[in-house]
A and B are shown apart, each in its own frame.
Chain A
Amino acid sequence: MIYLWAFLVGGAICVIGQLMFDVLALTPAHTMSTLVVLGAAADAFGLYDPLVKFAGAGASVPITSFGNSLVHGALTELQRDGWVGVVTGIFDVTSAGISSAIVFSFLAALVVRPKG
């Protein structure tokens, strides 16, 4: 059942992105930035976690979850370490995504000859 919800919710978030491309005529960079901020805002109101519980990867794979994770890291360390946690905690949860994207992309650039 979680697979069905992952499909439906993940697909729906992508449709929102597509509508921003086509109807609002935003560039990909504007669209992605907006979605990340939306994800951060949703977590600020405590709305994103229930969505992840409900839709699994349907909510955690789209880029909105990146905003969610940034806020999550900041708030978790805020509670644990006080004020300074807001700054030290931001990349806490998203480190896996950003680090692996940097490392794999760098390795690809070492090995692959660009096409076209």
Chain B
Amino acid sequence: MPAKTKKSGVKLRLDTMTPQDYEKLSKPFVPSRPVFKNCIRAFLSGGLICVLGQAIQEAFMAIFDMSSREASSPTVAVLILLSVILTSFGVYDKLAQWCGAGTAVPVTGFANSMCSAALEHRAEGLVLGVGGNMFKLAGSVIVFGVVAAFVVGVVYAVMGWGGTH
């Protein structure tokens, strides 16, 4: 008879232990995530990146006399350029340690995932390394975004709704 722990009632014998048993046993020893602190950090850093984006957008609107919609594409491009530069110097990933989702959710995080994948696999060559791995992380975002957009488009087309809001 395998011994059972008092609390969890999980078998202690390693050879009969299932992954579920292991999870049960190890759970009390896994450090809990500081959710509240992480959320505050994500809020502050993510909010600041959006404020920076707003400032860049207003600058485009003022200097090139653009509407806010026209200005949004160059704004995104500038943010992505900044993100790629910071990633190249290894700064973005240090920031991400502190900011969590605050640097991952903005479009800068999308660029960071592509740039760091490109740099990481540079040694495998330009085609197989850089070209083949750039979308390793960003790919799922594009795939699910496009499929979702396609579904919405088909629904609108079938229902005969107008396209613009």
Q: Given A79-B164, A100-B80, A109-B119 in contact, is the A6-B53 Cβ separation under 8 Å?
A: yes
Number of B residues near A (Cβ < 8 Å) is 81
Bound-complex Cα distance A35 to B141 (A): 9
Binary CB contact string for chain A from 26 to 68 against chain B (1 if under 8 A, 0 otherwise)? 0011011101110111011010010000011110111111110
- Flag if B145 contacts A23 (CB, 8 Å): no
- Flag if A108 contacts B54 (CB, 8 Å): no
Bound-complex Cα distance A112 to B137 (A): 20
Q: Given A96-B77, A97-B110, A109-B130 in contact, is the A71-B105 Cβ separation under 8 Å?
A: no
Residues of B within 8 A of A104 (CB): 80-81, 84, 111, 115
Q: How many A-B residue pairs have CB under 8 A?
A: 273
- Flag if B114 contacts A105 (CB, 8 Å): yes
Main secondary structure of the interface of A (DSSP, over half): helix
Q: Given A36-B144, A37-B148 in contact, is the A2-B54 Cβ separation under 8 Å?
A: yes
Binary CB contact string for chain B from 104 to 147 against chain A (1 if under 8 A, 0 otherwise)? 11111111011101111011001000100010011011111110
Set A7, A44, A71: member contacting B47, Cβ < 8 A: A7
- Flag if B105 contacts A36 (CB, 8 Å): no
Residues of B within 8 A of A114 (CB): 119-120, 122-123
Chain A residue with Cβ nearest B79: A61
Name A residues whose Cβ lies closer than 8 Å to a Cβ of B: 2-3, 6-23, 28-29, 31-33, 35-37, 39-41, 43-44, 46, 49, 55-58, 60-67, 70-71, 73-80, 83, 85-87, 89-91, 93, 95-98, 100-102, 104-112, 114-116
